[in-house]
Structure formats: structure tokens, C-alpha cells
């Protein structure tokens, strides 16, 4: 684990940096970790991106199966393309999430949660992305909260489908709240060239979830992060021949972060304190009631 906080400077202007996500396997599923990356720690305040699946879970088994675990200093963002999960947290929330819906859990000083699928009575494809948004110094010690949004701004036209997870599109504002200026769109597009809006002061990146997209003559596929820098008022994208992707970013976060396990902090003492609180179960992260999977112990360190 990194012991020092780190930060990568945002590009001053438009760039196209394509970097490979780190691929890992969790219970037979491929997970592609696009963020953090050694060359790109954050994009706006987005600081973590794990793209999982697609994989088919057979009847009688469980899809997502993540037992109670803690967070602090960040918001978790769950976004599914296929499958379902039940979110339970230490605030007492029990919330099913399905594709097209958004779970946005802000940890502040501490929260714990579990994300579990039901025992399936039919084969089901699990596919989605788990994102984290770092909280700035001003809010990261605040109270935890949870938001579920069943309906998000959605623009559909031939060859283009955009859902606004966070931020706004043509005046349509997502109901989700973030602590720093942020945007995140789920975009499906065909082979015709399309313009997406961008805010020049923001940095942005593309994570392809399905198919492939062409950006400035480069083909981007799942398993990569395409960082586009700042200074753009539009982004030109073309499916190759079709793509589903996230276009996300925001105001560059001017803070060095220390990320360890499920915690985003600023120094090693804070990290140690978070580990100790979870191990001691001292109340900082609360308790998740009713979870099927076991509480996840802190990893060795």
C-alpha cells in the first residue's frame, strides 16, 4: 500500500492519454481497474473505477456478493448495466438497485455497507462499474448519507443515448449531489460521429464498458482509460461500430490523496486510525444489519 499521499497534475489543455486498466480476477470475474492509475490518480474528483463483468451467473448462485466493509472520505457510486444488487448500509438503508438506477453513498467520516445480489432463480448476466469520488477537505469529515435515484436525465435520439449520472446535460440536472463540480454520463452510440458537451475548466476521461469507440483516430476498448485533459468545449466520439462508455470528469481536485483499502485519507496516521476503528468495531463505521455475507476483515498491512 502507498504510504504517501499522491496527486497527478491535470493536463493544461486537451490531450489524449490512453492507459491500460489493471486487470484482476475476483471470484472468477474480470475486474478492470481504470483508476487509480500510476500516471493518473484522479480525473476531477473521480478516484477509483472498477469495471466488472459481463459474466453469467448460473441459477442457484449469487451475483454480486460483497459483505459489510467500511469507507471514509469518499462517495461510492454503483452503476449496473445488467443484474441487480441489494445495498445495505449502517444508516439502516436497504435498497435494491437495477440497471439505469444510481446509488450514491457519501461516507464522510465513516460508513459501512454491503452489496449483495439475490440467490438467482435463473441465469443472469452481471455487468457494471463501481466508482469512487474523493471528498475534499471541506466535507470529508462530515456525516455519511445515502442517495438512490431511480430516474436520471436521459436523452435518446437515433444513434445516441445519454444518461446523466451526475452534473447536467443541456440544462437537465442530475438529482445526485457531489461535493465538488463533477460530471458523469453513460453514453451509448453507433457508428456515426457525435458531439458530447464538455466544460473547458474540467478534466475528463472515457472508460469503455462495451464495444469500442474512436476518439481522435484512436480506438478505445474496455480495459483502458482515455484521459482527455482540459480545455475542450466538446468531445467528438464515434462508435466502432457501437460503444457503451462513461464520459466522466470534473474540476481538478487540488489535494494529494492517500488511498488505502477502502479509505481515502491524507496521511498514514489517519489511515491507521481507520483500520483500527474497523478492527475494533468501535462504532465509527456503524453496523450493517441483515447482510448475508460475512463482515470483511481489514487486510494485513
User: Residues interacting with Mn ion, by CB under 5 A?
Assistant: 76
Closer of 184 and 239 to Mn ion (Cβ): 184
Q: 26 exposed, middle or buried (CB, 10 Å; 0-12, 13-18, 19+)?
A: exposed
Q: How far is the CB of 113 from Mn ion (least distance, A)?
A: 6
Do 109 and 72 contact (CB within 8 A), yes or no? yes
Long-range contacts of 223-226 (CB under 8 A, 24+ apart): 223/20, 223/21, 223/23, 223/32, 223/51, 224/18, 224/19, 224/20, 224/21, 224/34, 225/18, 225/19, 225/21, 225/34, 225/35, 225/37, 225/40, 225/43, 225/49, 226/16, 226/17, 226/18
Closer of 37 and 71 to Mn ion (Cβ): 71
Q: How far is the CB of 76 from Mn ion (least distance, A)?
A: 5
Q: How far is the CB of 267 from Mn ion (least distance, A)?
A: 22
In DSSP terms, 224 is beta-bridged to: 20
Q: How many CB atoms lie within 10 A of CB 135?
A: 27
Local structure of 147: helix, strand or coil: strand
Closer of 76 and 84 to Mn ion (Cβ): 76
> Residue number with the shortest CB distance to Mn ion?
76
- Four-residue CA torsion sign, 165, 166, 172, 173: positive
Closer of 145 and 219 to Mn ion (Cβ): 145
Closer of 45 and 198 to Mn ion (Cβ): 45
Q: How far is the CB of 262 from Mn ion (least distance, A)?
A: 6
| 245: its cell numbers | 462508455
Closer of 166 and 245 to Mn ion (Cβ): 166
Q: How far is the CB of 63 from Mn ion (least distance, A)?
A: 16
Q: How far apart are CA 122 and CA 132, in angstroms?
A: 31
Closer of 135 and 238 to Mn ion (Cβ): 135
- Four-residue CA torsion sign, 103, 27, 287, 94: positive
Residue reference for cell 476531477 = 44
Q: How far apart are CA 104 and CA 182, in angstroms?
A: 13
Closer of 76 and 238 to Mn ion (Cβ): 76
Q: How far is the CB of 66 from Mn ion (least distance, A)?
A: 7
| 263: its cell numbers | 479509505
Q: How far is the CB of 79 from Mn ion (least distance, A)?
A: 13
Q: How far is the CB of 161 from Mn ion (least distance, A)?
A: 28
Do 189 and 155 contact (CB within 8 A), yes or no? no
Amino acid at each position: 500500500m502507498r504510504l504517501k499521499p499522491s496527486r497527478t497534475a491535470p493536463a493544461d489543455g486537451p490531450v489524449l492519454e490512453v492507459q491500460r486498466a489493471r486487470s484482476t480476477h475476483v471470484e472468477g470475474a474480470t475486474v478492470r481497474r481504470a483508476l487509480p492509475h500510476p500516471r493518473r490518480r484522479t480525473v476531477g474528483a473521480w478516484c477509483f473505477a472498477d469495471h466488472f463483468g459481463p459474466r453469467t451467473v448460473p441459477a442457484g448462485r449469487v451475483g454480486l456478493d460483497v459483505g459489510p466493509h467500511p469507507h471514509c472520505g469518499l462517495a461510492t457510486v454503483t452503476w449496473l448495466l445488467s443484474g441487480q444488487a441489494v445495498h445495505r448500509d449502517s444508516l439502516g438503508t436497504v435498497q435494491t438497485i437495477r440497471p439505469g438506477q444510481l446509488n450514491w453513498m457519501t461516507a464522510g467520516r465513516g460508513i459501512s455497507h454491503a452489496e449483495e445480489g439475490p440467490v438467482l432463480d435463473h441465469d443472469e448476466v452481471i455487468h457494471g462499474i463501481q466508482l469512487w469520488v474523493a471528498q475534499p477537505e471541506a466535507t470529508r469529515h462530515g456525516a455519511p448519507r445515502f442517495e438512490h435515484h431511480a430516474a436520471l436525465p436521459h436523452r435518446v435520439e437515433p444513434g445516441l443515448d445519454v444518461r446523466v449520472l451526475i452534473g447536467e446535460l443541456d440544462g437537465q440536472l442530475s438529482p445526485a449531489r457531489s461535493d465538488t463540480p463533477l460530471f458523469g454520463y453513460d453514453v451509448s452510440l453507433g457508428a456515426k460521429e457525435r458531439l458530447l458537451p464538455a466544460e473547458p475548466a474540467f478534466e475528463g476521461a472515457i472508460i469503455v464498458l462495451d464495444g469500442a469507440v474512436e476518439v481522435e483516430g484512436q480506438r478505445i476498448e474496455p480495459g483502458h482509460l482515455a484521459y482527455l485533459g482540459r480545455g475542450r468545449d466538446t468531445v467528438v466520439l464515434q462508435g466502432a461500430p457501437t460503444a457503451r462508455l462513461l464520459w466522466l470528469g470534473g474540476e481538478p481536485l487540488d489535494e494529494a490523496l492517500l488511498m488505502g483499502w477502502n479509505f481515502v485519507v491524507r496521511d498514514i496516521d489517519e489511515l491507521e486510525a481507520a483500520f483500527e476503528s474497523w478492527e475494533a468495531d468501535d462504532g465509527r463505521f456503524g453496523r450493517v444489519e441483515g447482510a448475508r455475507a460475512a463482515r470483511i476483515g481489514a487486510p494485513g498491512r
